[in-house]
Amino acid sequence: MTNSRNKGAAFEREIANSLNEELNLTIPLKRILEQTREKFLPDLILGNWYLECKRYGQGNEPIEKWWSQVLDSAKDKGVPALIYKFNNRPIKVRVPLHTINDNLTKDNQLTCDLAWKDFIFILKILYPEDIAKHQK
């Protein structure tokens, strides 16, 4: 039987490594280890992005409490993003709609789900300052 904590930590490392590679980060993104002890910390922080990573066996839609968890960690501090993957499914990323179009309301409950490559594209094109902020 797979230990869910180990499975989650491995997925967080996979996402961190992928972001390091895809965004050409010179300072590697690393898991926030204090998250296991402190309630409102995300798994990863990239600039102002608070990233929560979830790897789950069955399903195709994220559980509501996952989005609530990332909203709690990003509250008044950053931009929430939920990165999730189910078995035999591609990695997806849930973000607030206003992160793609700032003409939309700043309501974090209005979301869209992106393919992984689309999320990387959005970061590179719309959020280069967050990538640069991580490099400092």
Cβ-proximal residues to 79 (8 Å cutoff; 6+ apart), any chain: 48, 49, 50, 95, 96, 99
Residues of the domain holding 18:
4-135
Tally of structural domains, the chain: 1
**Which residue, 92, 85, 88, 96, is CA-closest to 119?**
92
pLDDT in tens, 54-69: 998 888 889 899 999 9
Residue labelled with tokens 């402190």: 38
CATH number for position 47: 3.40.1350.10
In the prediction, which pLDDT does 1 show? 42
In the prediction, which pLDDT does 82 show? 98
The CB-side HSE value for 9 (13 A sphere, CA atoms) comes to 10
- pLDDT tens for the chain, 136 residues long, are 456 666 678 999 999 999 999 999 999 898 775 555 456 689 999 999 999 999 988 888 898 999 999 999 999 899 999 999 999 999 999 999 999 998 998 999 999 999 999 999 999 999 999 999 877 6
